[in-house]
Amino acid sequence: MKKRVLCALLAAAMTASLTVGCGSKEESKSEDGKVHIQFMHQQVEQERQDAVQEIIDAFQEENPDIVVESIPVNEDDYDSKITAQGGNGQLPAIVEYSQDQAKTSVANQFTSVDAVNEVIEAKGEDAFYEGALRVTKTEDGEGYVGVPISSWVQGIWVNEAMLTEKGMEVPTTWEEVLEVAKAFYDPDNRMYGIALPTSDSAFTEQVFSQFAISNGANVFDGEKNVTVNTPEMKEALEYYKELASYSMPGSTEVADVNDAFVAKNAPMAMYSTYILGNVEQAGFAQDLTLVLPNKETEAAYGCITVLGIAEGMSEEETEAAKKFVSFMLEEENNVNWLNMAPGGIQPVLKAVAEMPEYTDLEARQSFIHLDEAIANAVDNLQLFGAVDGKNYTEMGDITNTGTISKMINSVVVQDADIDAELETAQAAVEDLLK
């Protein structure tokens, strides 16, 4: 569940690992004369393992001189596995990462940025949605932390049928979202205007970030100056507090948001595309509309899944890994990857979003009308710490400490003074950079 909703939670062990890089590996050709490489991923469910193996089998049929071993690892053990194997120079040739895990692995010199860049350049940057590349840039903006293969995005899910019954239009701006929330709020009858997270959690930070970024606020500017305590951030925090007053009471989390929306106790909710399966089971997927927080600009949050290529391998291993990752970017193979979780994971390649093999899948039909809106969200992906074509690694540390989510929870739930909380958060982030 965590990987389907939260992208920014990095294990402390991973971020604190030694930045020693991978050591040189021995030549990889074995007695059979083939190059053997490993692909470590989080697809542990049996049906997903089978899907991954089918992709590997197809690759090996085209490349009989390469053997790819599938290494599924449970989500809870993933960061520690990366840390241990990366620090020992034994990281598998190819590793599935979230964008945040990928940034940390690049900082720790576990990933060959050159190999990653070569794969993306060979595919062509224009093949990807702009947002998918924007949030996977290296800190200097000169390369990429991994090769994007899929995504999930987050926005405001709207039950359009509920709005129609009340004679209301789908909201598109901050003000209109607030109007809908006010119109539906009836807590005595367990009806709320919107389902939002307010707990001290990464989920709350990532939801709030969309409103902040849509108002021109970010944690850093392009020169890495801390910009938490700004008029734009204050306006976003004030708005979030008001909007949350029409949500469920108390410190609400992932399950609270999902349950309220799926049970139709709220006409709107902030959640990832992984809510689609739950809504389909509840029988109203056809009523869904996706909109993005919009003040000065539209802003989507999301997580890009990338493939990293390990540093320090033999030339043969590196070339084999590049071939396999490139194979994963071929449209037919990429669709097979996406079809492991219809609705939950989304394309990062423009061409894939229009392929019949993707659009005509039966399991995707109930929410096929959302494809354009979801593609727009991927294209408008923006994150705290990603600014002016740079991605600051320290943002992972900030999320891990809960600095931003504590600020939100204090203001929204505990009614703390906004100016004081902004000053405290600003100082805390500045201290982390020292």
Mean pLDDT along residues 69-73: 97
Q: Tokens at residue 118, please?
A: 């070569």
pLDDT band per the 50, 70, 90 thresholds, residue 259 = very high
pLDDT band per the 50, 70, 90 thresholds, residue 269 = very high
Distance of CA 388 to the CA centre of its chain: 19
Mean pLDDT along residues 115-137: 96
Each residue's pLDDT tens digit, 196-247: 999 999 999 999 999 999 999 999 999 999 999 999 999 999 999 999 999 9
Q: Is the pLDDT of residue 32 over 90?
A: no
Q: Tokens at residue 212, please?
A: 């902040």
Q: Specify whether the CB–CB gap between 156 and 173 falls below 8 A.
A: no
Each residue's pLDDT tens digit, 293-305: 999 999 999 999 9
Q: In the chain, which segments carry CATH 3.40.190.10?
A: 2-152+303-374, 154-301+387-433
What is the H or E stretch that residue 308 is in?
strand 301-309
The pTM for the full model equals 0.90
Q: Tokens at residue 31, please?
A: 């007695």
CATH 3.40.190.10 correct for 154-301+387-433: yes
CA dihedral 399, 400, 403, 406 (to 10 degrees): 100
Q: Is the pLDDT of residue 15 over 90?
A: no
Mean pLDDT along residues 326-341: 96
Mean pLDDT along residues 285-294: 97
Alpha helices in 225-365 (DSSP H): 231-244, 254-262, 275-282, 315-329, 331-338, 356-359
- Average pLDDT of the residues of the chain: 92
Written out in words, the top-level CATH class of the domain with range 2-152+303-374 is alpha beta
The b/e string for 5-22 (b: 16+ C-beta within 10 A; e otherwise) is bbbbbbbeebbebeeebb
14 to each of 102, 132, 378, 402, how far by Cα in Å? Answer: 11, 23, 27, 17
